[in-house]
Amino acid sequence: MKLLIHDLEEEYLIQLLEHQDNIRIISKNTPIHHCIGCFGCWVKTPAYCVLKDEYMNMAPRIAACEEIILISQCTYGGYSPFVKNVLDRSIGYIHPDFTIREGEMHHKRRYPQRLHMTAHFYGEDLTPEEQSTAADLVQANGLNLDTDKNQVFFYRQPGEMKGRIL
């Protein structure tokens, strides 16, 4: 299964995902509380956020997938506020203990499988610096989540993604 986290308006999403099965969708249409940085998802309720809303079980949702697909407006070389918030609420996916990967200290995986992560950024007049920063961010997130494959794509308009998402 694939997990799609996006900030698109519904009309774009419908155009992009015609006849798609085996995909779970997380959309900005469902209100989300901001991560409060309490690390309760590590110590109080391992893997589950202590904030009781639709996003409290993001870690198990991610663990049930083989790929995370992010669709986000590129905001100053990063994710849109909604996509960033969902990722923040997903920190319980990794374990609080550390390990060394590629000569750097990172959190251990909580779950045995390794994910693919694909990010699709859109935005008018993205500078090369914004694109470079966004690509570096996705690679850094992939290293932290211990993904086995990361891909990053850029588009001027969301409609350009049609046929390229899945």
Q: Which of 134, 146, 133, 137 is nearest to 99 (CA)?
A: 146
Complete domains list, the chain, with CATH: 2-161 (3.40.50.360)
Between strands 104-109 and 94-101, the pairing is: antiparallel
The model's pLDDT over 39-90, given as tens digits with 9 standing for 90+, comes to: 999 999 999 999 999 999 999 999 999 999 999 999 999 999 999 999 999 9
If pLDDT is split at 50, 70 and 90, which confidence band does 30 have?
confident
Mean pLDDT of the chain: 92
Q: What is the pTM of this model?
A: 0.93
**DSSP letter, residue 33:** P
The Cβ-side half-sphere exposure at 59, using a 13 Å CA radius, reads: 21
Using the CB atoms, write b or e for 8-35: b if 16+ within 10 Å: beeebbeebbeeeeeeeebebeeebeeb
